[in-house]
């Protein structure tokens, strides 16, 4: 008995050593991935704090030697054009606060509209019985494989024919309805909710709409929050469509404004320090969303119908 247990006892330290090596390797790879992920954000902040005159010369230090907030002041419109040029800027204007307002409206309406309509479509695919439901749902999910660029020109032609270029309705209309991923995501959650809950509501006289609005939706706050946050982030970072449909400052969102600001150089080369300062400010709202609601976002991915 003792003789047979010796190889097993001898193998345990070797197994533990392999586990420790594997964990150490995994941690090293994770830290490396974290550094590679965060480095662009670090460089963006560093450039935003660097005076424009030092941008080409102060490149070897970890932190700028003469860190300044003048670039943020220029972006927020707290300085004049002459002061911008004196600070090393190109003299281009951004109207950051107006574009920030437009981005909030655009992302907020997309998040609200898509979340509600996708919930209705997902509930219909999960609960309503009609001929060809599975085939229709399969075709709907296949739309996930269609690149958005394929629908860009038809949508633009439709919005232009309606006279909606340069308006918020033209900006929001193609993205307001629903997305295949959100419908699929919510349908899978609705299927996990026991039908007994809705049957009990039906016995109390609740129709299908009341069951959906007062029973199913309150139980689906987690997934609805997840889809809403994903849609809000998607709307916040959208670039090509707002650039095409919102050509003037009244409807121009931040992403399009940053792209136009990069191309404007009335005085010299592109204003990289001002652009990075604007990019830092544009990231702040999304970063705050993830900081305050990131944990809830992760927790909501755990599909449970009732507790």
238, 148 in Cβ contact below 8 A? Answer: no
Q: Decide: pTM greater than 0.85.
A: no
| Residue 79 resides in a domain | no
Q: What is the pLDDT along the chain (307 residues), one digit of tens a residue?
A: 455 555 555 556 767 777 778 788 889 999 999 999 999 999 999 999 998 888 877 777 788 888 889 889 888 888 877 777 777 777 777 889 999 999 999 999 999 999 999 999 999 999 888 888 888 888 888 887 888 888 888 999 999 999 999 999 999 988 887 788 889 999 999 998 888 988 898 888 888 889 999 999 988 888 898 899 989 999 999 999 999 998 888 899 999 999 888 887 666 677 888 899 999 999 999 988 888 877 777 666 655 444 4
Q: Are residues 12 and 115 in the same domain?
A: no
Q: Are residues 105 and 186 in the same domain?
A: yes
| Residue 260 resides in a domain | yes
Q: Are residues 6 and 104 in the same domain?
A: no
Q: What's residue 266's pLDDT?
A: 63
For the chain, the domain total comes to: 2
- Domain of 182, CATH number, reads 1.10.3720.10
Q: Are residues 14 and 110 in the same domain?
A: no
Q: Are residues 18 and 140 in the same domain?
A: no
Task: Provide CB contacts within 8 A for 261, sequence distance 6+.
Answer: 92, 94, 271, 274, 275, 278
């Amino acid at each position: 008995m003792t003789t047979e247990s010796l190889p097993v006892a001898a193998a345990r330290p070797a197994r533990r050593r392999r586990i420790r090596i594997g964990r150490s390797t995994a941690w090293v790879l994770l830290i490396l991935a974290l550094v590679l992920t965060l480095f662009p954000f670090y460089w963006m902040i560093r450039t935003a704090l660097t005076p424009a005159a030092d941008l080409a010369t102060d490149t070897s230090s970890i932190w700028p030697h003469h860190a300044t907030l003048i670039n943020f002041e220029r972006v927020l419109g707290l300085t004049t054009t002459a002061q911008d040029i004196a600070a090393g800027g190109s003299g281009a204007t951004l109207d950051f606060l107006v574009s920030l307002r437009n981005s909030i409206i655009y992302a907020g309406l997309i998040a609200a509209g898509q979340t509600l309509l996708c919930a209705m479509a997902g509930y219909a695919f999960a609960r309503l019985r009609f001929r060809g439901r599975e085939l229709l749902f399969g075709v709907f999910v296949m739309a996930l494989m269609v690149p958005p660029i394929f629908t860009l020109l038809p949508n633009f032609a439709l919005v232009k024919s309606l006279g909606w270029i340069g308006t918020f309705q033209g900006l929001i209309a193609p993205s307001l309805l629903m997305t295949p991923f959100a419908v699929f995501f919510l349908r899978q959650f609705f299927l996990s909710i026991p039908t007994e809950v809705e049957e009990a509501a039906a016995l109390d006289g609740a129709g299908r709409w009341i069951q959906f609005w007062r029973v199913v939706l309150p139980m689906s706050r987690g997934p609805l929050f997840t889809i809403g946050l994903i849609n809000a982030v998607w709307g916040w970072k959208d670039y090509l469509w707002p650039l095409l449909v919102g050509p003037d400052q009244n409807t121009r969102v931040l992403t399009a404004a940053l792209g136009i600001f990069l191309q404007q150089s009335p005085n010299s080369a592109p204003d990289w320090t001002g652009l990075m300062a604007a990019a830092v400010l544009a990231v702040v709202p999304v970063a705050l969303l993830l900081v305050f609601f990131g944990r809830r976002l992760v927790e909501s991915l755990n599909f449970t119908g009732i507790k």
